[in-house]
Amino acid sequence: MGEMEQMKKEAEALKTQIEAARKAACDTDMASAASGVAPAPRVQLKTRRTLKGHLAKIYAMHWSTDNKLMVSASQDGKLLIWDSHSGNKVNAVPLKSSWVMTCAYAPSGNLVASGGLDNMCTVYNLKTPVIKTVKELDAHTGYLSCARFLSDTEILTSSGDTTCALWDLETGKQKTVFLNHVGDCMCLALSPDMNSFVSGACDSLAKLWDIRDGQCKQTFQGHTSDINAISFYPSGNAIITGSDDCTCKMYDLRADQEVIGYQDAALNSGVTSLALSVSGRLVFAGYDDFNCNIWDSLKGEKVGVLSGHDNRVSCTGVPVDGMCVCTGSWDSFLKIWN
């Protein structure tokens, strides 16, 4: 036991050391740094489109890089590809397993992926006249919570078995497995330079990983419950996380600490999803209380609300050109706001 006591002491000492190091680096906070910035105007967005077509809870949606198409996944067993501006459904992909939890659109627009309680990530090719399954990536031992394409040949997935994985789509095998979380991984986000990604898990930690060497580079603490949503700031130097503890937090990657939190005493429901506007100024966070709140990322204030859904907002997304925001909900509708 003496050894364990010793190690415990050492761990404690190191913890204090790193706290001190972080404090030393922390010579200012967001409030003062952003004091010169004018407050964001009150943002009042209206529903511009309501996309009806799903028959059950919508669990995920993802915009295509062409800013008009998007894919949404619902537990009625379908992936629907929408031309959001006209409201048309371009494609419907029937899923083998209806317990879908995530969907992703490849940057090229050629492929979409879905995954869920079947523990697999299925990739479909949209370019063939009849949509075909390209690959079924089956190696996770837990449900698939999130998937993101790097290109047409690589895809990142996060899973309930506490791992994330980088897959080679040509061989269908895992190239790298990212092991470090101790709770179900719930979400992941790719950095703008595509060299790293962050994942959030049920152990209330967010971790930054290097895609090439598979190592966890940084860990961010602060949340007290599952992290359900995570996103990179446009510059790639900060991340924003949303959690079941009803708060969102921004962490600075270079200073290695939490910068600002977005919370409100009146908000008592967990955050399910997050999306940022093009400049990073506005954070759209979807909550369990059927609303999506808009936060000013620099000031930490709420500047707007998107109400209109009849059930929990399960997914949020802003397209690349930032022209609108889309929310998907368990009430089976997708709404586009501007």
Partner 1 sequence: MTIRNVRDHGQRYRPRMACLKKVENVVLEMQDPKTGVKSQTQRLVITTIPHAITGEDIVAWIANRFKIDAMEARAMGTMMVAFGYIYPLQDHKRLILKPDTSLYRFQTPYFWPAQQWPVEDTDYAIYLAKRNIRKKGMLELYEQEQYNNLYKWMNHKWDFIVMQAKEQYRAGKERKKPDRVVFDCQERAYWVVHRPPPGTVSAMDYGHDRMVDPNLKENKTPDYYRRIIMFTQQCIMRPRVKSSVSIGALVKCTTTYKEHDPFLNACLPSNPWLTDDVTYWNLNMPNVETPTKMRVERWTFSFGELLMDPRGRADFRLFLKKEFSGENLAFWEGCEDLKWGAAETMKEKAQQIYKTFLARGAPRWINIDGKTMDITVKGLAHPHRYVLDAAQTHIYMLMKKDSYGRYLKSPVFKETQRKAIAPEPHRFSDAQLEQNAKRRRPSLSPIILRQQEEEQKAKLAASGPVDITQLCRFTAPVPHLAVYTGICEAQSTASPGLMTLPNSAACPSPISVAIDSTPASERRFDGNGGPSSSHFPSIAEASVSEEENQPPAPKSRMALSLSRLLRRGCNAPSVFASLSPKCGVASGGGKVQPLGVEPLAQPQPRRIANFFQIKVDIPPECRIYPIDSEDEEDDSPDTARGGVKEIICPWETVTKQDGAG
Q: Which of residues 296-315 bind partner 1 (CB under 8 A)?
A: 297-298, 310-312
Using CB under 8 A as the binding rule, whether residue 48 contacts partner 1 is answered as: yes
- Residue 306, token pair as written in the block: 């998107």
Using CB under 8 A as the binding rule, whether residue 136 contacts partner 1 is answered as: yes
Q: Contact letters (x/-) for partner 1, 4-33, by CB under 8 A?
A: x--xx-xx--xx-xx--xx--xxxxxx--x
- Residue 283, token pair as written in the block: 């954070």
Using CB under 8 A as the binding rule, whether residue 2 contacts partner 1 is answered as: no
Q: How far is the first Cα of the chain from the last one, in angstroms, to the nearest whole number?
A: 61
Write down the least CB distance from residue 322 to partner 1, Å. Answer: 5
Q: Which residues contact 144 (CB under 8 A, 6 or more apart)?
A: 101, 102, 115, 116, 118, 119, 120, 121, 157, 158, 159, 160
Write down the least CB distance from residue 307 to partner 1, Å. Answer: 14
Collapsing DSSP to helix, strand or coil, 149 comes out as strand
Which of the residues 208 through 227 are near partner 1 (CB under 8 A)?
Answer: 212, 217-219, 226
Using CB under 8 A as the binding rule, whether residue 110 contacts partner 1 is answered as: yes
Strand partners, 249: 241, 261
**130 or 193: CB nearest partner 1:** 193
**Residue 225 CB burial class (10 angstroms; 0-12, 13-18, ≥19):** middle
Write down the least CB distance from residue 228 to partner 1, Å. Answer: 10
Which of the residues 55 through 84 are near partner 1 (CB under 8 A)?
Answer: 64, 66-69, 83
Q: Which residues contact 48 (CB under 8 A, 6 or more apart)?
A: 324, 336, 337, 338
**54 or 312: CB nearest partner 1:** 312
**Number of residues near partner 1 (by CB under 8 A):** 116
Q: Exactly one of 76, 99, 177, 261 binds partner 1 (CB under 8 A); which one?
A: 99
Using CB under 8 A as the binding rule, whether residue 130 contacts partner 1 is answered as: no
The distance of Cα 210 from the centroid of its chain, to the nearest Å, equals 17
